[in-house]
Structures are given as C-alpha cells and as structure tokens.
Amino acid sequence: MIASVCHLFLALVGAPFLLSVINRTKAWIAGRHGQPWLQPYHDLLRLLRKGAVYSRTTSWVFRAGPLIGLAAVLTATTLVPFGQARALVAFQGDFIAFVYLLGLARLVTVLAALDTGSAFEGMGANREVWFSALTEPALMLSLAALAREVGGNGSLSLSVLHLGMSAAVWSRTGFVLALVAVAWVVVLLSENSRIPVDDPTTHLELTMIHEVMVLDHSGPDFAFILYGAALKLWLFAALFVGLLSPVKTGLPGVDSVIALAEVMGVAVGVGLVESVMARLRLPSVPQLLIGACAISSLAFLIERHGVLLP
Amino acid sequence: MLWTLLLIPTLSGIAAFGIQRHPLRRILLLTAAVGQFAVTARLWMDWPQRPAPILDGWIGLDALGLLVLTICGVLFLAAAVYAVGYLEHENHGSLHRDFEEGSLFVNEPEAVFTGCLLLFLASMNLVTLSRHFGLMWVAVEATTLFSAPLIYFHRHRRSLEATWKYVLICSVGIALAMLGNFALAAARPPGTAHGNSALLVDDLIALAPQMNPLWLQLAFIFFLVGYGTKMGLAPFHTWLPDAHSEAPSLVSALMSGALLNCAFLGVLRGHQVCLGAGQGLFSRELLVGFGLLSLLVAGVFIVGQTDFKRMLAYSSVEHMGILALAVGLGAGYAAGLHAVNHSLAKGALFLTAGNLLAS
Amino acid sequence: MTGLLEPALIVVILTNLAITASSRLAFGIRLVATQGVVAGLMPLVLSPEEVTVRLVVIGGLTVVLKGIVFPRLLDRTLRQAAVRREEDPPFGYKASIVGGVVTLGLAFWLTGPNRMPLPAPLASPLQLPAAVFTLLTGLFLIVARNNALNQVLGYLVMENGIFLIGLALALEEPLLLEMGILLDVFFGVLVMGVAIFHISRAFDSIEVDELTTLKD
C-alpha cells in the first residue's frame, strides 16, 4: 500500500523528467549540449503563472477539455503497477478501464479542438482519431495475448499481469512475447505522438497531428495538457517495462529501482528512434499501425491455439 | 520396350536444340514421330501381354494408358508431318507481319520449337506411363513447362499474353493437384505408408477399401480442381481459348487432342482409387457436375466467336465436359471412344484451320 | 533443435504478412527467399536425431535453390524490366494486411482440433495452420496483385506452403521425387522469368492488367 502510494508520487513527479531525457538524448546524438535537466519543470511552472487567453468562438468545452483530460490521466495513473507493488487501484478488467480512461482524455482534447472552429485543429483531430482507432486493436489484442499467457487463468488485471511476468515466462513463450513487444513499441510511439508517427518538434501546422490540436490552449490549460502528455508517456513506458521485462528480483526496493531505470531506458530509446528516423509519410502511418495490429493478432492467435514448447 | 518410349523423344529433343541445319532437324522430328508410332503399334500387337514395368513398378502400362498413348502417338505423327511444311513456310525471313494487329514480330528459333515439341511428347509419354501419382505430377508439370515456349512461337503481344495466362493458371492448378497427392498419402491406413510405394496406383487401389474416406474425398477434389485446370474443365478453363487460338495450329492440335487427354488421365486415376474405396458415388457426382458446367459454359461462349481457332478451343472445353460427364455417368467405354473421336477430329480441324489461316 | 520449430513457423507467418503488405518488389523477393530457406531447413529442425543423407540433400538443394538461385533469377528479371514497386494493386496494401490477418484466422479455424484425422501427430499445433496460411497467402497474391512478378512470388509462396503441408502430414517421399518436384519448380520459375522479360519488352510494363487483348 505504502509502496503503491510512493510509486504514484514517483510517477507524478518523474513524468516531465522523461521529456528531458528524450530531449537530452536527441541533443547528445546531434552533438549539442541540450536543454537543462529540469527544463520541463521550469516550462510547466512558467505556464502555470501565465494567464490564459480564450477565443470568443469557444465555449465551456474548450475550458473543460484540459481539466478533464488531466483528471482522466491522473486516474489512469492509479491503475498502473510499478516495481514489485500492485497499483493503488486494481480489479478485474482494469486494463480495459485504463485504455478507456486514456481514450476519454483523447476525446475531450479532440472536442476542445473542434470547439475552436479552426481548420487546423479539425485536421489534427481527424488524424489523431484515425490513428488511435487503428492503434486500439493492437493495444487490446496484445493485452489480451498477455492476459492469456502471463495471467495464469487469464486474469484481466494489470497488477496480476505485472506480478506474473518473470524470466521463466520469457523462456517459455519468448517468441510470442517478442511479437507483443514489437506491437507495443509501435503503440507507444503512436499514442504519444512520437516519430515515426508524429514529429513533436515540427512547427509546420500541416504536418502536425497532436500538436495542432492543442494549438489554441495557453497558460495553465497548456500546462495541464503538456503535463498530461508527459504522464501518459510515463504510464505507457511503465506498463511496457512492467508487463514485458523479465528482470525481476523479487525484492521491493530493488525492483522499483530497476523499473525506474528501465523506464528511463525506454525514454532513451524513444530519443534514439527520434534521432535516427524521420517521420513516415502520412499515408504510410496507417500501414504501420495496421501492421502492429496484425502482429498483435498473430500473438493472440498463437496464444489462443496453444504453443507446445519442450 | 517402355524405355524406348521415353528415351526416343527425350534424346531427340535434346539433340534438336543443338542441331544447326534445318533439314537435319526436321528429319529428326519425323524419325522420332515414326519411332513413337512404331513402338505404340508394337505394344498394340503384343496386347494383352503387357510390357514389363520398370523402375520398381513406377512406370508401367495399363489399358487406359495405352489408349491415351496411342492418341498421342497418332496425333504427333500427323503434327510432325505438318510441321515440316509449316516450319519451311514460316522460315522465309526474320520479320513477319501480324495480320490481326498489323505489328511486326519475329518467330521463335526453330531449334527451340522442335526441341520443346519433342520434349513435350516425352513428358506426355511419361504421364501415360506413370503408375505413381508423384511421378505423374512431375510429368504433368513438365508438359506445362515444355508447351509454354510452343505457344510463344509467333512472338507477338497476344501470344505472350496467352503464354503468361497458360503458365500461371496451369502451374497454380497443378500445384493444387500436389495437395491431392498428399491427401492420398494421408488417406492410407496408418502404418502402411512406406517411402517408395506410398503413391503407386495399384497399391492404392488394393488398399482402397481401408482408406480414410474423408482424406480420399479431399484428394479427389484436389485432383479434379488441379488436373481439371490442365484439362480445361469449367470454371478453370480460362487459359484454354487464349492458348489454343494464339499457338501455331499444330501445337493447338497436339494440346487439344493429346494434352487434355493426358490431364484427364490424372483425374481418372484418382477416380479409379475412389471407385476401389466405394466412394464412387462422390467422385461421379463431382465429375457430372463439372462436366455439365463445362458444356454450359462452352455452349454459351461458342456462339459469339468469330475467330475460328478460338471456336475450336471452346469446342475442346465442351468435349472435355462430355468426357467428364460420360465417366461420371459410368460409361467408361463410351468415354474412351469419344476421346479417340474427339482427338482425331479436333486434330484434323486444327491442322485444317492452320492451312486456312496461312492462305 | 526442436526448440527452433516454433520460432521458424512464426518467421514463416510473419514473412507471409510482410509480403502482403509490401509494395517494393525487391523486398518481396528477399522475403520469399527467407521463407524458402526456413522451409527448406524445417525437416532438419523437425527431426534432428535422424539426420539422413536424404534430409541433408533435400534441405541443401532447397536452400540453394530458393535462397540463392531464385532470388538471383528474379532480381535479374526485375532489373531487365526496370520496375521497382507495384503502385496500385486492385486490393490495397492496408486492406491486404487486414485480409492477411483474416486469412490467418481462417487457417487456424480450418485446421482446428479434430477437424481432420492426421496420419501422424504434429510436432507443434502451429505447423498445419502456418502451412495452410502460407498456401492461402500465395493464392491471394496471385489473385489480388496486378504485377507479373508479384504473381510469380505468389506462386513461390504457394509452393512453400505446399511443401510445409507435406512436412506437417509427415509424408516420406523418395529422394528422386523430391528432386523432380524441385526441378519442376525451378523450370517453372525460369519460364516465368523469361516470360516476364518478354512482357516487359512488349508491353513496356509488367502490370498484368495491360494483358487484355484476348477476351471474349
């Protein structure tokens, strides 16, 4: 219980740090020095101190969007296990709740974007929703495959899956888990609007997907959105390492440290991917996402029909 | 005796690729055709004493095989005689003008044509002589591969299109027939499948009553679809009109008269095994169904044809349908008689068509 | 060695999905070559204790043929035809991947437990579905692709699938017959390669929907 609360605080505090890890990695690859480690925190504080500007064409939807979105992501944080501890809130089917809480956050962001009546936001909302519709089957199917495999009798709780993963499971069904991992990487990159799906540093509105949806928010609203995005990245990274990493010692403190290191490792990985690859052409992104769906369906089908390994 | 049937065409075919002078090559063609005919006549005279099977019983002759072999031999002799004049006529210059589209084209080198013709005959012989399903499969695939260059003799766009369709559709069909081979082997009662003799026709007919009916039915379906594609049964006949209309007439005569019968032999062997296993009703119903469909399709398409050879090709589809129908109704002798009739008549028609078109 | 069976089958399934998704022809040739090599090595993986001369010869020949000869042949055809990718297949690439997954499900369903009594127990429950999936993918490629080279790749995938089905049914074919089959496939690909070269010269493209002169 105490461990779960500690992990919750760790997530809340550490989420923006992931962003700076990614940026520093990209800078290091590019030969630059990069921004200070605590830059995202400074940015968030600065935004919180500013006043917000609201367009006259918007309504309460636009003001409520960032608030509800942040609330949804915070609630989802309580569902994610970390280290050797269960999540703060764990029940059968909580991973479906997790996916739908994130979906709610996306929904209110999209509604706020459409509320502005601007063409750019509408375009961004369209792309975002299209891509997330393609990503969701991949996410669900890979979780379903994991549930069958790791959760013993097919448990639907993230915490059970998390605690059930170990090196023994990898040696038993390594290949299927590798497929799930590949699908998860694509899902992670897509849901968090990173390259190769979306370039977070682009300043050309026509090439933006997620960034253009939040173009009109300012001040504290924008701070909430940025923080929510960072927290979402943390959640995905934590789930990725928690559900798939075989490195578990069984000791609570050590496992937490290992999990933290792995989450940072994921951030470094994202930074590397962003440095090495360019964004995919827009028509090719659905292909990538459908490919991820295919891989996770393959993992699910193999799981369902049973694999015999000596 | 059986060795000569295989070796004469094969060796002549390989030799024909290397011979440079046209008259010498044409004499080789004629000699091989006459030799084939002579050996077949000798086999008829020796009947009912069958020649000794060779290669562990993999190659042997039964009544059905002899019938198809004879048809092949007679037609090939006629085609060879025709070929001498035809090749001489076509040899008058390097560029020809296509009378349908007006474009210029060249002909295939005569050596390739003659060589492939003889190897085509060799592979058809192998089909009629094989007593092993696997070997028969290899031989049928070989007929596809050796007849493809024959269709592409006049090197223009239409014959290229016909050749491509022929190669692709027939290769796919025959690959499906391979699945039939597997299903047959899987149908054997457990414990009896030994490497060398797993797919011998005689063995399978003897074992037939104990075979798994489900696998046997599956095997027959694959044979019907696979070899039926090669044979020209609807709805797998789509390559036939194109290939037969674009190939030189003597090739069309050979394909219509001899090759379709060889493919039918594949279906018949499967049917024999089914009959032995008591599944005769199943296979006969399928044969009747596809036969009627071929008749219907051919009847519909033949009405609007303006191209004479294409019309003859659809007529071949129709006659193959009649053959399937006959066997399906149980009239085996009638089917055999019709096969001989059809081959001789269609061969003559195609050769005449060639003369008509040349003039 | 038997621990390699399932990864090998998963590689086969993944190559099938990748071939349906890819528009670049050279990549498709590599994928089919990989699939052929994995399929050729499968007998060795299935029975590591009884490595007979027959197994080694067939495996070796298959690997050389499908891994080296066919890609070289097809690459040369590709170069002569001067094409890089297929642009607009009748069944789009995104829809193809979805179709591939549906076909995979279909393959699992068709070969489900107790549907057909098998002559010998399978070494892995993935074997028959993977083989049937390969066969169906090959057929799909032949039917749904306009490019002649893609159709040849479909034929090769189909042959791989049939080979895998034969392995799954544990059929022992004599050495000569296996070599005869390989020879047939080789000559088939050879003839198709020559045909594609001629098509590229006569029609200035290898898209099969240009071949529409002959029709009723």
Task: Tell me the one-letter amino acid at A263.
Answer: V
Subunits with 3+ Cβ pairs within 8 Å of B are C
Give contacts of C161 with chain B, Cβ < 8 Å.
Answer: none
Determine, for residues C119 and B188 on separate chains, whether the beta-carbon distance falls below 8 Å.
yes
CA nearest to C100 within chain A: A294
Using a 10 angstrom Cβ sphere, with 0-12 exposed, 13-18 middle and 19 or more buried, the burial of residue A263 is: buried
Task: Quickly list DSSP for B121-140.
Answer: HHHHHHHHHB-BHHHHHHHH
Most B CBs within 10 A among C110, C167, C184, hence the mutation to make, goes to C184
pLDDT tens for each residue of A133-180: 999 999 998 888 888 776 656 567 777 777 777 777 777 777 788 889
Q: Which of C177, C188, C202 lies closest to B135 in CB terms? A: C177
Task: Give dist(CA A294, CA A6) in Å, integer.
Answer: 37
Task: Give dist(CA A193, CA A25) in Å, integer.
Answer: 17
DSSP secondary structure code for residue A51 in this structure = P
Determine, for residues C180 and B163 on separate chains, whether the beta-carbon distance falls below 8 Å.
no
What's the order of all strands across the beta sheet hosting B104-107?
B96-97, B104-107, B154-155
Q: CB-based contacts of A231: which residues, under 8 Å, 6+ apart? A: A11, A12, A15, A73, A74, A77
**A245-249: average pLDDT:** 77
Say what the pLDDT of residue C1 is. 47
* Cα→Cα distances C137→A295, C22, C162, Å: 16, 13, 12
DSSP secondary structure code for residue C4 in this structure = G
Q: CB-based contacts of C156: which residues, under 8 Å, 6+ apart? A: C32, C36, C66, C70, C138, C185, C189
Phi–psi pair at C147, nearest 5 degrees: -85, 130
User: In this structure, are residues A279 and A120 in contact, taking their beta carbons and an 8 Å threshold?
Assistant: no
Tell me which residue has tokens 């006659």. B319
- Mean pLDDT value across chain A: 86
Burial A212-228 (b: 16+ CB within 10 A, else e): bbbbbbbbbbbbbbbbb
Per-residue pLDDT of chain C (216 residues; tens, 9 = 90+): 457 788 888 899 999 999 988 888 889 999 999 999 998 888 877 776 777 787 788 888 888 998 999 999 999 888 888 777 776 777 778 888 888 889 988 888 888 766 777 777 777 778 888 999 999 999 999 988 888 888 999 999 999 999 888 888 877 777 777 888 888 888 888 888 888 888 888 887 778 877 777 776
Q: Minimal Cα–Cα distance from B300 to chain C, Å?
A: 11
Most A CBs within 10 A among C10, C132, C137, hence the mutation to make, goes to C10
Collect the ranges in chain B with pLDDT lower than 70: 93-94, 98-102, 191-197
DSSP secondary structure code for residue C24 in this structure = B
User: In this structure, are residues A288 and A39 in contact, taking their beta carbons and an 8 Å threshold?
Assistant: no
Using a 10 angstrom Cβ sphere, with 0-12 exposed, 13-18 middle and 19 or more buried, the burial of residue A51 is: exposed
Does an interface of 3+ CB pairs under 8 Å exist between C and B? Answer: yes
Q: Which residues pair with A225 in a beta bridge?
A: none
Task: Using pLDDT thresholds of 50, 70 and 90, give the confidence band for residue A25.
Answer: very high
Task: Tell me the one-letter amino acid at B171.
Answer: S
CA nearest to B305 within chain C: C216
Give the dihedral sign, CA A68/A69/A71/A76.
positive
User: Within chain B, how many helices (H) and strands (E) appear?
Assistant: 14, 3
Written as six digits, the tokens of A231 are: 């927290």
Kindly give the interhelix angle for A252-276 and A2-30, rounded to the nearest 10 degrees: 30
Task: Give dist(CA C65, CA C72) in Å, integer.
Answer: 10
Give contacts of B242 with chain C, Cβ < 8 Å.
Answer: 214
Say what the pLDDT of residue A307 is. 58
Q: Which residues pair with B155 in a beta bridge?
A: B106
Q: Which of B141, B155, B157 lies closest to C213 in CB terms? A: B157
Task: Give dist(CA C25, CA A6) in Å, integer.
Answer: 54
pLDDT tens for each residue of A173-219: 777 888 899 999 999 999 998 888 888 887 777 777 888 888 888 88
